Amino acid sequence: MIEGADARTLPVADLIAEGRPTILRGLARDVPLVAAARQGPAAAVAWLKQFDGGQPVTAYIGDPAIGGRFGYTADCTALNFTRERGSLSAYIDQLLASIDDAAAPSIYIGSTDIDQYLPGLRDQAVLPFGDPELVAHPPLVSIWIGNRTTASAHHDMSNNIAVTLVGRRRFTLFPPDQVANLYPGPLEPTPAGQVVSMVDFDAPDFTRHPGFADALAVAEVAEMEPGDALIYPALWWHQVEALDPFNAMINYWWNPTPRFMDTPQNTLLHGLLSLRDRPEHEKRGWQALFDYYVFGDASRAGAHLPADARGALAPLDAMAARRLRATLLQRLNR
């Protein structure tokens, strides 16, 4: 945990390289929305509405019966909420009007690009990160608004700085190697593009999900107050609970990987197609090959070859990526 950090001098890349989440107490203490929220939800709503650009936003709406936990239906064939489009101001007015209603629907406006939907908010609420990594790779900045909702444990492919501005939040985080103990749901459908844990953290069924006890043993819990931030690396699993009747958070997603590189999610899907169901001795052999060509030292596989003969084993650049992609498309379309 770091107290009183300044975004301009925060060593973001170093914190990510440490490979663990870090709480940044008071990082956003001077953001005007934090001050407005201290006066109550009505003041926070009024402050946010002045930036509504008028474009319809996507809202997730859940029946009160789901208890604010967005995920799957009991048979895992569908999601337990609906998506709809509407006015940002109307949704947050609805949140304010139902703030004392225990039977109100769960409303969750997730990952909404501030520049597109709340023009002008950047100047008032976005932190001036000065770390060279974020300067070179400007993050995607999104806002999250809702009532008491829970985003079930999932992972993202980008690093994240999550900044709590209105209401309290609780993050429960797990390192990537806990994937099996979190019992991910189906690859399709997903609530927002990522698989989420099937475990109900409030009432875990250890008979059905026994490995979750091992996950809890290494879990890290971050209790966040308005003005606090949390930084954590890509692929860490995290459940996010909004604990108050009205909540707002801004997060910053970034990844220093060049844009010409493909997403590993496609590689995973291709692995399911080409590797998963092969005999075990073949899978072990392919695992050794992947360790050599992919997961080991990036320069090792081509180091003994003349530079002009390394082909795809040479360092990847935009041109080499295009050639590889063309080769893959040609082979997949046979």
Asked whether residue 250 falls in the same domain as residue 275, the answer is no
Angle, alpha carbons 27-31-36 (nearest 5°): 130
- pLDDT value of residue 102: 86
Same domain, yes or no: 15 and 112: yes
* CATH number for the domain harbouring residue 79: 2.60.120.650
Alpha helices (H) along 41-164: 41-49, 88-97, 114-117, 121-125, 132-136
Provide the residue type at 331 as one letter.
Answer: R
* Same domain, residue pair 147 and 249: yes
Domain extent for 134: 2-254
What are the beta bridge partners of residue 69? Answer: 150
Decide: 322 and 260 in contact? Cβ < 8 Å: yes
**188 and 80 housed in the same domain:** yes
In a domain, 11, yes or no: yes
* Average pLDDT of adjacent 10-residue blocks, the chain of 334 residues: 93 97 97 96 97 96 94 92 96 95 93 96 96 96 97 96 98 98 94 91 96 98 98 98 97 94 92 96 97 94 92 91 90 82
Do 274 and 159 share a structural domain? no
Strand partners, 122: none
| Residues in a beta bridge with 239 | 172
CA gap 32, 7 in Å, rounded: 16
250 and 290 in a common domain: no
Cβ atoms of 182 and 229 within 8 Å: the answer is no
Residues 35 and 151 in one domain: yes
Rounded Cα distance between 198 and 11, Å, is 35
Inside any domain, residue 195: yes
pLDDT at site 74: 87
In this structure, are 48 and 100 located in the same domain? yes
CB atoms under 10 Å from CB of 4, counted, come to 9
What's residue 334's pLDDT?
74
Shared-domain flag, residues 289 and 190? no
Q: Are residues 136 and 210 in the same domain?
A: yes
Last residue of a domain, one of 204, 225, 254: 254
Asked if 194 and 270 sit in the same domain, the reply is no
Between the two ends of the chain, the Cα-to-Cα distance in Å is 53
In a domain, 284, yes or no: yes
Residue 259 lies in a domain: no
Query: What's the CA angle centered on 199, arms 198 and 201, to 5 degrees?
Result: 145
* End residue of a domain, out of 254, 273, 292: 254
Work out how many domains the chain is built from and give that number.
Answer: 2
Q: Which of 254, 282, 303 is the last residue of a domain?
A: 254
* Same domain membership, residue 268 and residue 206: no
| Count of Cβ atoms closer than 10 Å to residue 89 Cβ | 16
Distance CA 132, CA 13 (A): 8
